[in-house]
Amino acid sequence: MQRVQSRFRPAGGAGTSPAFSAAIAFSWREAEQSVAMAGELESSKPLSGLLNGLAQSTFHRHSGITEELLRTQLYPDVPPEEFRPFLAKMRGILKSIAYADMDFNQLEAFLTAQTKKQGGITADQAVVISKFWKNHKTKIKESLINQSRWENSLKAMNWRVDLKSQSKHFEQINVPVAIVELELGKNGQESECLCLEFDEIKLSQILKKLTEVEESINTLTNPA
């Protein structure tokens, strides 16, 4: 019976062409690089810096912090096409936490769900995100509140009770009055001071109105 010689040889064995060996080696290097880049994205070490950069650009409006800057400084070995979805995922998680103003119990439940979600985050990343939010929650919240204001806000208020020393009518002299000073302004701009004077009748009317406002708020927030 005639022996038929096989055309297939073991990889790397005798008769393997140099081109085939080079292709195998190149594919192996590509696989190693992909694993290394995936590991770098999952690493928690540069994640804290990434979250800080995202907070600065997203909540504090620092336009100089770009995607390319974050990638080259924190994940230089990760190509843009792989870094971009990772960045979008972390930005989305950070926005969800900030816009919901999560307390620590809500944060823990949210991050736990993210670790169980397909394509979510690792347990180490959840720890980094939790620590970041605990350290930056107050500043991010203040920034979001300031950005939501269009008009002047009340920055400070002082009041005192004094005796009226001047008046067109003699009977109003030495009558006790409440003097209220309001400091109004926007962040980053010079404030202005508004001084108001109330006699007993006006002050009683204002207090009555404030009581009505308080009752309305309580009715809306604590329905029967």
Tens of pLDDT, residues 153-190: 778 889 898 887 665 665 567 788 889 998 888 766 77
Same domain, residue pair 139 and 158: no
- Mean of the per-residue pLDDT values for the chain? 79
Q: Using an 8 Å Cβ cutoff, are 219 and 197 in contact?
A: no
- Domain C-terminal end among 148, 182, 199: 148
pTM score of the predicted model: 0.53
Across the strands, what pairs with 156? Answer: 183
Same domain, residue pair 129 and 36: yes
Mapping DSSP to helix (H, G, I), strand (E, B) and coil, where does residue 180 land? strand
Across 134-158, average pLDDT:
84
Q: Using an 8 Å Cβ cutoff, are 106 and 119 in contact?
A: no
Contact partners, residue 52, CB within 8 Å, separation at least 6: 132, 136
Count of structural domains within the chain: 2
Same domain, residue pair 57 and 83: yes
Same domain, residue pair 135 and 116: yes
Span 2-45, pLDDT tens digits: 443 333 233 444 444 555 344 444 443 443 444 344 445 556 67
Same domain, residue pair 55 and 88: yes
Across 63-68, average pLDDT:
91
197-to-71, 132, 201, 223 alpha-carbon distances in Å: 58, 47, 11, 37
Contact partners, residue 32, CB within 8 Å, separation at least 6: none
Mapping DSSP to helix (H, G, I), strand (E, B) and coil, where does residue 194 land? strand
DSSP state of 170: G
Q: Residue 47: pLDDT band by 50, 70, 90 thresholds?
A: very high
Closest of 187, 103, 184, 182 to residue 148, by C-alpha: 187
Across 59-81, average pLDDT:
91
Q: Using an 8 Å Cβ cutoff, are 90 and 96 in contact?
A: no
With respect to residue 200, please indicate whether it lies within any of the assigned structural domains: yes
Q: Is 111 exposed, middle or buried (0-12, 13-18, 19+ CB in 10 A)?
A: buried
- The boundaries of the domain holding residue 204 are 152-221
